[in-house]
Amino acid sequence: MKSRMLFRSIGRKLAPALFLAFILISVGFGSINAQNYLCGDVNNDGKININDMSYLIKYLYKNGSPPQPATLAGDVDNNGQINITDISFLIKSLYRGGARPCADGMIVLEIGQSKIFGPAGEVIGFDSILSDNRCPTGVYCFWEGEAMTQLHLWTSEMGTISFTAKISGLTGPEYDWGHFPVEVGNYTITILDLNPYPDYSHPEIRSNRVYLKIE
Ligand SMILES: [Ca+2]
Ligand SMILES: [Ca+2]
């Protein structure tokens, strides 16, 4: 009994150290991968184009080879999984001015999700979409519209701060004005994208995924 208690006591003391080691190892591997592949260039030819899209579709649905040189090169929306959302992200990135694959420092959240992002355990959370009147695909609009989201930031000094952030219906490299960075505490938070984008033919599909940049 005593030895079991002793192990438990040692386990409790070691757990934070082991957890920290796991985080360091994970971060270490992540950075090695990030240097070794170009996110989105899944056929590994140095360019990101329509061939990568076909490659990814083949990999997902026709037993094609995995993205090269690392499978994670196909996780273009940076959410840790490779699936149909990466294909739509790539299409938007290539043809509709969407964020580029694995945009630097991008954090992906679905409604109700929160993630630790900072060295001191800072947390960012996506609570809801307050409004979304972005001009749907398949419709001509006089105004591109915008979407408003409710987010929160938690830090040990400031506690939880709720804030709103919006994005225009026109975004991408040539539409920098379509993003509206928000100052929250010591951070500048920008919505890079909000998907799926409204589509006139599919009104039942609602946006539920936000792509954030935190600086
Ligand atoms: Ca390529
Ligand atoms: Ca993904």
Q: pLDDT tens digits, residue range 107-123?
A: 888 898 888 877 788 88
Average pLDDT over residues 59-65: 95
Residue type, 131: S
Percentage of the chain modeled with pLDDT above 70 = 79
**Topology of the domain comprising 36-102:** Type 1 dockerin domain (1.10.1330)
Q: What is the pLDDT of residue 132?
A: 95
Q: Which ligand has the nearest atom to the CA of 94?
A: 1
Q: Which ligand is closest to the CA of 54, given by its number?
A: 1
The Cα–Cα gap between 128 and 125 comes to: 9
Would you state the pLDDT for residue 175? 57
CA of 35 to the centre of ligand 1 (A): 16
Q: Give the predicted TM-score (pTM) of the model.
A: 0.60
**Contact yes or no for 162/154 (Cβ under 8 A):** no
CA-closest candidate to residue 136, choices 195, 89, 200? 200
Report pLDDT for 126.
Answer: 94
Q: Which pLDDT belongs to residue 193?
A: 87
Q: Which ligand is nearest to the CA of 47?
A: 1
